[in-house]
Structure 1
Amino acid sequence: MSAPEPASRSSNRSTPQRCSYTYLSPENTQEGRRLLDSITWPETPPLPKPFSLALTTSGAKSSFTIVPRDGGWRVGDELTVRIQLRDYNGNPKKSGGDYLTTRLHNRKLGAGVVGQVQDHLNGTFTAVFPLLWNGPADVEVLLVQTSESITVLKRVDEEQPDRIQFSSDFRLGSVTETSTCNVCLDPDKAPLCDFTDLHTGEQWFCYKPKTLDCNTRVSHMVVLPGLKISEEESLLFQSQQMVSKGINMKVLIKALGKATVTISAKAGEIKKITTEPSGYYYGNEWRPLGGPKVHQFNNASVITACLKGKQLHMFGDSTTRQFYEFITKKLPNLLRFEKHSTPQCGPFLAVDHTNDIMMTFRCHGPPLRNYKINLSQMQYVANELDQLNGGPDTVVVVGVWAHFDSFPMEVYYQRLMAIRRAVGRLLNRAPGTKVIVRTANMKDMNVHGSLYNSDWFSLQRDKVLRAVFNHPGVLLLEAWEMVQAHYLPHNLHPPAEIIKLMVDMILSNTCPENRG
């Protein structure tokens, strides 16, 4: 991580310096290109011509089989599952690129773990699970998105990187003008106001208002255009609720034969599992593998004891705001200062003077999909980190992902690198600071949501985030596997049961000596 560098404010130039959705700054080019190339998705097939849904992947026609094991399964072994995808006619698929997830679970035991999926690029997949508990375990295979739908998503991503649009109000006295804004705009259409942040290098432009100057900008808001795909293409994005039209998105694939195995107690020493996930559920508690042990913080007194004398700063999007809201509701002695803040975005402040506790939340900068926010309330995370003193009693939680799903990966990578450099400066001047980065998570999907926030889009960004923050000074909060391995339905904003488990992870890292 880089050495400290001075902070600076956004520019208000009327002439753009550079405008490109796929631009990587010089210091990020080599690592960025190598990283983005490493996560390239397998090639997906073109859509059938003439289009026929019958020739695309069908979850109902596909199946999986548990590979038998001599002597059965014991704790510490691995379970292998073979998956065969078929089209609606029942014919085996011959190409790869479908997006599958797998889970091994036991609802009664409160147990669950994700499997490692390998695409053999010929219509077959293999999933491997570590066996971590004693007793029955059910295999679940989920077709998240078909390869054909991913073909559409790839095209949309390339052809419409500006499919989420934004605007700003410019105001001077009684005169107000609204103008289109985005990461990149066409300078041939109209003069641009360049609001690129001089410290982070983050690009942001608005078309110059007809009469007002660039420096009269006062607000930011999202404008959701009516992005459309063809009626045929929309058939590839059918959720489980649309039974009358078929199912090909987030549909469970059935087993050929048994879908359940019985895991016996271990015999002798357990060998090292090669398909080790980040963690697993048991007894409805999250148990990390290779990370800090998670303790339970089940009441206000235990949470207060952990946070006593500490500052907890949270930055990011609404999924990160859930942590702030969860903790503040649990602590009745906190004084909350939120009256003049934007409800979804903050900035929020909560303090407990008696126990010397301070908590804050602030949303990240553009591209933020907020309906209207005052510019003074929207700051880049990197700039906020540079304002922190840090130290052993400071905990920082960062979560930035969902609002970048509709932009090219370069835009997201640039943002993460700016934050990573700021984290490096923070840890350099205050080595005892605890930094936690929240990963992405799966969500419920429909046609509209898939084009903007598909789980497939989020998965790619999650891979980039993990690679960027693969650093010993940073703890990754495993939201992705915690949502996928849980029995509750996927949701952009995970339910309170899962948020509580994530908060337990934050607090366990904040005060690892606490046993709840």
Structure 2
Amino acid sequence: MSKPNRNIYRPPGPRPICKLASKSMDSSSFLDSLSQKLTNLTRLLYWPPIPGGGGDILASTSPQTSTYHLRSPAQASYALGSSLEAILVARDHWGRPKTHGGDLFRAQLLGPDLKAGVPGDVWDLENGTYLLSFPLFWAGQAQVQVRLIHSSEAVGVLQRIWREKSATVDFRGYFRGPKGTEETVICNVDPQSTGTKGPTCQYRDMVSGELWFCAKPPTLPCNFLVGHSSGNYLKVTTPHDESLLAWNVTDKLLPQGISPIQIRTAATGNISLALSPRLPCRPGLLVPKPSGFYHQDVWHSLACSSRSFSTVDSILGCLAGHVIHMMGDSTLRQWWEYLRDTVPSLKPVDLHVTAHGWPLRSLRTPVASLHSVARELEGLAGGPHTVVVLGLGAHFTTFPPSIFVRRLAGIRATVTALLTREPHTLVVIKLANTGYKSVYGSDWLTLQVNRLLRAAFADLRVAFVDAWEMTSSLAVPDNIHPGKLIVQNEVDLLLSFICPS
């Protein structure tokens, strides 16, 4: 079992080349070469129009005055397997109904006594009202809960910054000379974001073609780059923007609008869960919406027959004989940590974890350890005992969507090649978690990233772990790094794909 960030292998061929680049260099040529399919992924980012102008904060959507109610008269009880519908009316701080959509609401149906939860569907009617729909998957008591994550006005701020700013964070590049001299500069995804008016160093990934730029060090040459780390969060908001994104109007519960309901068991027998017959978990299955629900703190997938791996022997029995490659961010590293802490000895398992390359927000890391996912995948032989898990998204909310589309293009190409040479390789895509609530990593931004992730791999024979819903279905505080309960359920779903029976 290797440690996070350890190199799995060194791909053949030279390391990424570097050269000086002028400020006028066009770094978008690679994006222009993408297939039409991937270039059009940005069409998936539709959001209801949000009227511009107006600086009145009190005219923005308020979590205190917005209301919701049942769509039809309340019943004494509801049938297991049916659905509950409600109407939400968005209102401003004066209590006036909104006349346009675009708010980001999150709806849940919770069963606290049963440790149950399922995400509700929120349909924006684009006139200030929203249709909420909740499937009734368990028998017993349930309670609707609705949160305003961001007002439409706040979403407008996020939308503008995401599309118009080339970056909302920067990075540090560390150069070291042969005599130990060190020089530190700013690096980023394009020359402009390095903040320099002089020349920049350009680094091209030899597999994906992706570019990375650092300001030219004062004396050292470009090929002396040895280290990388996070830099600063850049100032991208106005005081008005910050008021719309303030804590007192972000991720706030709406006043309770629906009394707790009672869900009765099915008419035929004492059935407590609405689970139709499902196929064993395998790649290529369509993921329904919702993709699953919790009951007694266990996630029940609605796409396939997920299993529980509650003992050390069951985990080892599943993983033994497999080669597992986990590539991504810290939310995926949590899976490795869970396995490490749960299973005393993983010696029978060939398990590797590595962070994706630039733009990685991290402590100082050797550049030699930063391989792109595309480079890692190109070096894998694949096969029926090879599992590749990709966790992408969290580090891309600080850049415009074109940056993530470019990354997805390179990864999709290498995944396609891997599945072509070894069709029985299992590739698992972990969607990004909920948990961010700032201009640098809002849940609205993560939602867009997940849309792109789904679309990029939708027609490939891969498996999806819907971490977005798994991290937003229980009555627990949002955390980009969720607790053990959620991580265990995510890993159990992964293992269900590796060992479907």
TM-score w.r.t. structure 1 length?
Answer: 0.86
Does structure 2 retain, via aligned residues, the 8 Å contact 1:65–1:255?
A: no
Matched residue SS, 1:512:
coil
Corresponding position of 1:434? 426
Q: Secondary structure at the match of 1:108?
A: helix
Partners of 1:265 and 1:184 lie apart in 2 by 58
Task: From 71, 96, 99, give the equivalent of 2:101.
Answer: 96
Counterpart of 2:432, as a letter, is A
Measure, in 2, the Cα distance between the counterparts of 1:167 and 1:225.
12
Which residue is 1:196 aligned to? 204
In the alignment, the residues of structure 2 paired with residue 149 and residue 11 of structure 1 have an alpha-carbon distance, to the nearest angstrom, of: 41
Other-structure match for 2:266 = 266
C-alpha change, 1:230 and 1:473, in structure 2 (3 Å) is: same
Structure 1 498/178 Cα, relative in aligned 2: closer, same or farther at 3 Å?
same
Equivalent of residue 456 in structure 1, options 444, 451, 455: 444
Q: Secondary structure at the match of 2:114?
A: coil
| Post-superposition CA distance 1:211-232 (Å, at most 9, x none) | 2111111111111145253333
Structure 1 counterpart of 2:64, which letter?
A: A
Task: Name the residue aligned to 1:279.
Answer: 292
TM-fit CA distance, 1:29: 4.8
Code of the residue aligned with 1:454 in structure 2: it is S
Aligned residue pairs, count: 473
What CA deviation, in whole Å up to 9, does each residue of 1:267-287 have, x standing for no partner?
A: 579999x98411111222111
User: What is the CA-CA distance between 1:378 and the residue it aligns to?
Assistant: 0.9
| CA distance, structure 1, for counterparts of residue 180 and residue 288 of structure 2 | 63
Instruction: Note if contact 1:21-1:410 (Cα within 8 Å) is conserved in structure 2.
Output: no
Contact 1:112 1:486 in 2 (8 A): yes
Distance 1:435 1:203, change over 3 A: same
- Determine which of 299, 318, 322 is the counterpart of 1:310: 322
- Give the one of 477, 481, 486 matched to 1:493: 481
SS for the counterpart of 2:157 is helix
2:470 aligned residue: 482
Structure-2 change in CA distance of 1:333 and 1:210 (3 Å): same
- Contact 2:385 2:425 (8 Å CA) reproduced: yes
Question: What letter is aligned with 1:332?
Answer: P
Q: Does 1:164 align with 2:152?
A: no
Query: Which residues in structure 2 correspond to 1:178-193 (within 5 Å)?
Result: 178-186=184-192, 189-193=197-201
Give how far 1:162 is off: 2.0
**RMSD, aligned CA:** 2.5
TM-score normalized with structure 2 length: 0.89
Could you tell me the percent identity over the aligned residues?
34
Q: For residue 217 of structure 2, what is the aligned residue in structure 1?
A: 209
Query: How do 1:68-467 and structure 2 match up within 5 A?
Result: 68=72, 73-172=78-177, 173-186=179-192, 189-227=197-235, 229-239=237-247, 247-256=248-257, 258-267=258-267, 276-291=289-304, 293-334=305-346, 352=347, 355=348, 357-445=349-437, 450-467=438-455
Residue 503 of structure 1 corresponds to which residue in structure 2?
Answer: 491
Residue from 461, 468, 473 that aligns with 1:473: 461
Report the Cα offset of residue 444 of structure 1.
5.0
Q: 1:22 to 1:464 in 2, by over 3 A?
A: farther
In structure 2, the partner of 1:11 is: 17
* Aligned partner letter, 1:116: D
Q: How many Å apart are 1:400 and its aligned residue?
A: 1.1
Name 2:3's counterpart in structure 1. Answer: none
In the TM superposition, residue 305 of structure 1 has moved relative to its aligned partner by: 1.3
Unaligned runs of 5+ in 1: 240-246, 335-351
Secondary structure at 1:178's aligned position in 2? strand
Q: Alpha-carbon deviation of 1:47? A: 4.7
The 3-state SS of whatever aligns with 1:323 is helix
C-alpha distance 472-275 of structure 1, shift in aligned 2 (>3 A): closer
Instruction: Quote how far apart the aligned CAs of 1:9 are.
Output: 3.8
Superposed, 1:36-51 pairs within 5 Å as 36-48=42-54, 51=55
Tell me the alpha carbon deviations over residues 56-79 of structure 1, each in whole angstroms, 9 at most, x when there is no partner: 111011110012268653122221
Closer, same or farther in 2 for the Cα pair 1:207/1:35, shift >3 Å?
A: same
How far apart are 1:30 and its partner, in Å?
Answer: 1.8
Partner of 1:60: 64
Q: Are the equivalent residues in 1 in contact too, given 2:412–2:456 (CA < 8 A)? A: yes
C-alpha change, 1:38 and 1:162, in structure 2 (3 Å) is: closer
CA distance in 2 between partners of 1:70 and 1:221 (Å):
56
Q: Which moved more, 1:12-21 or 1:55-64?
A: 12-21
- 1:220-249 deviations in whole A, cap 9, x for unaligned? 11111452533333221232xxxxxxx311
Q: What is the distance in 2 between the residues matched to 1:226 and 1:77?
A: 48
Give ranges in structure 2 of 5+ residues lacking alignment.
Answer: 1-10, 277-286
**Secondary structure in structure 2 of the residue aligned to 1:57:** coil
Distance 1:8 1:471, change over 3 A: farther
Note the alpha carbon deviations across 1:79-121, whole angstroms, 9 max, x for none: 1110001111111111111111111110111221111111111
The amino acid of 1:425's aligned partner reads A
- Supply the distance in 2 between the matched residues of 1:25 and 1:224 (Cα, whole angstroms): 26
SS in 2 for 1:12: strand
Bigger shift: residues 14-23 or 367-376 = 14-23
Residue 382 of structure 2 contacts residue 418 of structure 2 at CA under 8 Å; is this kept in 1?
Answer: yes
Q: Secondary structure at the match of 2:380?
A: coil
